[in-house]
Structure 1
Amino acid sequence: MALFRNQPPIKQNTYLKNIENIAKLSGLFSSESAAPFLVSRATENIFEESLGAKNLGRDDTAIDAILDNVGIGIKTFLHGKGHTLQKVAEFNRDSTKYRNLSKEEMILIISKLRNERLQFAIDNYNVADLIYHCITRKPDGTINFYEAPMNFINTDKISNIKLKQNSISFQDDLNEYSFNLTKSTLYKRFPFRNNDYLVASISVKMFKNPFSVLNSMLSQYTYSSETESNTTSTEPEYIVLPLYSYSKSAGKFIAERSGLNQWNANGRKRDPNEIYIPVSRKIHDKFPDFFPNRDTPFSLHLPNGDKLKAKISQSGDKALMSNPNKALGGWLLRDILHLPEEKLLTYSKLSDLGIDAVKIEKNAETDYSIDFCEAGTYDHFANEYNL
């Protein structure tokens, strides 16, 4: 497909011009390379701003943006000889799943984990296709833009598995890969020797003294404190909720009769989709005004664009639930995790996808959004806020 070329010409030109302008300032970030330098986060923001894409702005999913119902992985790297290996996934937290196995067994597990994460991106964001938008840079100042398919690994066609010191190379019927054993990182070869995937190209002349240029531009503007809010709020725009429980003896685990397995609780017969996301007392104490009062309804926007009715409920305000209650479980357990009904959710299942928490973003007083977070995100959030 040619997603970029299908965009209005004015948006295409704006995008290319913005990339060119930021590349002219390459000397701000790197003075050693003759090729233009681009910060990956900057290219994602430019892609969003120029083309009107949804910027996911996160590191725990296979895609960085969504445009025209297509999930897009945005990558920037040196062009080299046009067939370089580039990182596409990390599996540091999954090493116990494949450690000490044969190279064939190891590659099969890595391939399945990769495919599960791609399927997660499709399900979570309800996109019809996945592609890479690659920006390659050459020493002569040329920047090329390519669109390539983001393929699932065909596990039935894996071949040519070779152990090479600290990596294992392999291929399927479409692509070549390499798995770095030390870094637990999967690399894919991008075949950009010819123009098969080329969608645009620009030539950049970098500023010899970008600091002088930047100072000259900024000197035209006067900072005014009136543009900033005079009030300082301690209330965060979002919080992170773990999807797991924790104990010193068991580590991270999902309780069998509460939380995401509430359907399995003792007592009355429950719907197999009945769940809640635990909200600890520490969260309420630290951020007392983040959620509405108990049983006050609010909107909860899902990553796929759907919206649920939700509320904080149960004794101690310990539960984030939907109304009807089965709606949240139908989305999380069935649509996203593809868990069969009446099968217990385990932490291992979340680990396979590289997630174990959700981010709840506050848009307005009774309007919130939810999305999944990379495994370990809650640990960082808890440390930041001393939870």
Structure 2
Amino acid sequence: MSVWERYSKEERDEYVRFLQVYGALSNLFRQKHGDPIPYLDSKFQETVYAKVFKGENVDIGNTPHDVLSVFGNDRIGIGVKTWMNSKPSYQKVMQLKRLKPEIDPYFEKSDEELAFKLSQIKNDRMISDYNRLGLSEYKNIYHYVTRDAGKFVVQETAYPLVDLNNLQNFKRTDTSFSWSDGEKDYKFTRGDSQIWQHFDSNKKDTLILNQFDVSIIDDPFDFLLKSYFHFIDTSDADKQKEDIVEIYLPLYSYRTKEVEEKSGLNSWNAAPKSKGSSTLRPLNEIYIPIPREFHKKFPDFFCPDIFEAERRQKDWKERKKTMLVTEEKPEVRFNLKLPNGKTIPGLVTQSNMKALQSGSNKEIDPETNKRYGQSALGQWLLVDVLGLKDRQVVTVDWLKMRGTDSVRLWRKKDDYSTIYIDFAPIGSFEAFMDGEENQYEE
């Protein structure tokens, strides 16, 4: 069964209607009228796909999957794409500019070595996203819409890892290198460091799901004006959508612009917890630094007043010295929801409330049957997704090679019980603190 068939007919029909409406407005985006091929913006397509099919938009810039759909225990990663003409063609699927220094030396080696290196890099990116989102290897798809004169064609194809044991059909030129794994055909272009994939509706793992006509409005400007003022006249001004509070945090020190060698993401590199011990800290023991400047600008994100929470903790510590404490230490705690579907206990802790980390003295991790510790967040963020495999000190350059240096957190307004987290593109925290809209490389 295709992923498309797992959605209801009502949802599929609504998705088609949204695409038809957008395509009808094609002349908004053209300086010259008369082109019979309707236009479709990829970001609009991603947003509508997530909205209609009740998925989650998980694209954070240059990640392999755009939308996450959940069917019971099945978590499906979906790449959403659109382009002109339904004939077989190569389309860009992965940007590798930051890895150019690593890739270039392989153009001096054999075709087999070059194909293996490119395939391995692609697979590593895919596996990192599997770990970020809790995906399995064989269920993910590309959902794409091709555009021909007066119509859209909706298609779906398998989205597998590259089979490293079956690399073949090598072809090299001065500007590109192409290869296959027997299932999918790929191409790498040196000038822009892009991996391309060949899409063909005649392939056995590709399905044409639907095709439908799109009528392009000759004067969409007049249509929009009339529609807007009709909306103003008839809408309920008091109707509000659910409010979401959103912030960003750095994965580095805001003060030094570096990842500190023995704290933050490198907390595992600090001295052993027991004096005189030679036992190293766990590799996944981390915290995300929270700058004091962030608390000053946004004191009510983690709790109604972070400085009042800090004052209560200091008061508790003073009373503890005199043995006048009967209650537990007051802490800023919440559920931290990971994009892979798991929920772990989170808290803001340490002096100046400078650390976001996981941990609980009471709750038990059902996978390990042990109490949640500081390693729960680090296992997902640092090991599973970013791929730290040994005791290599994390640096800002290391993070940027992986396309991130920040995390995004959000919660429902007036609800401090659950905070959601995911990675964010490079520069997101600095832009957020400066009040700028986040811009990132596609």
**What is the TM-score when the length of structure 2 is the normalising length?**
0.76
Change (3 A) 1:114 1:382: farther
Quote the Cα distance in structure 2 between the aligned partners of 1:288 and 1:385. Answer: 19
Query: What SS is found at the alignment partner of 1:222?
Result: helix
The corresponding residue for 1:6 is: 6
- 1:355 aligned to which of 398, 404, 413: 404
Cα deviation, residue 166, structure 1 = 2.6
Aligned partners of 1:211 and 1:49: how far apart in 2?
Answer: 26
Does structure 1 residue 287 correspond to structure 2 residue 298?
yes
Comparing 90-99 and 345-354, the one that deviates more:
345-354
Tell me which of 343, 359, 367 is aligned to 2:418. Answer: 367
Distance in 2 (alpha carbons) for counterparts of 1:347 and 1:365: 30
Query: Given the alignment, which residue of 157, 180, 183 partners 1:174?
Result: 183
d(CA) in 2 for partners of 1:92 and 1:342?
26
Cα distance change on mapping 1:21 and 1:62 into 2, 3 Å: same
Q: More deviation in 47-56 or 344-353? A: 344-353
- CA distance in structure 2 between the aligned counterparts of 1:382 and 1:114, rounded to whole angstroms: 33
| Cα distance in structure 2, aligned partners of 1:351 and 1:161 | 31
1:75 partner amino acid: K
Alignment of 1:94-105 (within 5 A): 94-102=99-107, 104=111, 105=113
Matches within 5 A, 1:22-171: 22-30=22-30, 31=32, 33-67=35-69, 68=71, 69-80=75-86, 82-102=87-107, 104=111, 105-128=113-136, 129-139=139-149, 141-171=150-180
1:41 is paired with a residue of what secondary structure? helix
Does the CA contact (< 8 Å) of 2:176 and 2:188 recur in 1? Answer: yes
State the alpha-carbon separation in 1 of the partners of residues 229 and 387 from structure 2. Answer: 56
Give the whole-Å Cα distance in 2 for the aligned partners of 1:3 and 1:206.
Answer: 29
TM-score by length of 1: 0.86
Paired with 1:54 and 1:211, the residues of 2 have a C-alpha distance of 32
- CA deviations 1:336-368 (Å, max 9, x no partner) are 345447565455654454233211223333431
274-283 or 161-170, which moves further after superposition?
161-170
RMSD value, Cα: 2.9
Paired residue type of 1:265: A
Unaligned runs of 5+ in 1: none
- Structure 2: runs of 5+ lacking an equivalent: 275-280, 311-330, 360-372, 438-442
Matching residue within 335, 339, 348 for 1:299 = 335
Shift of residue 2 of structure 1? Answer: 0.8
Q: Distance in 2 between matches of 1:371 and 1:378?
A: 13
1:225 and 1:6, CA in 2 relative to 1: closer, same or farther beyond 3 A? closer
2:385 is aligned to 336
The Cα offsets for residues 66-124 of structure 1, whole Å up to 9 and x where unpaired, read as: 123211011011125x2111111111222222234426455433322211111122111
Task: Call closer, same or farther: CA 1:244–1:107 in 2, change over 3 Å.
Answer: farther
Q: Partner amino acid for 2:18?
A: N
TM alignment of 1:133-282, pairs within 5 A: 133-139=143-149, 141-193=150-202, 196-222=206-232, 226-227=237-238, 237-245=245-253, 254-269=259-274, 270-282=281-293
- Helix, strand or coil: the match of 1:20? helix
Q: Comparing 8-17 with 57-66, which one deviates more in the overlay?
A: 57-66
How many residue pairs get aligned? The number is 376
Identity rate, percent: 29
Residue 356 of structure 1 aligns with an amino acid whose one-letter code is D
Residue 304 of structure 1 aligns to a residue in which SS? coil
CA separation of 1:29/1:379 partners in 2, compared to 1, >3 Å: closer, same or farther?
same
Mapped pair 1:315 → 2:366: no
Q: Which amino acid aligns with 1:115?
A: N
**Cα distance change, pair 244–109 in 1 and its aligned pair in 2 (3 A):** farther
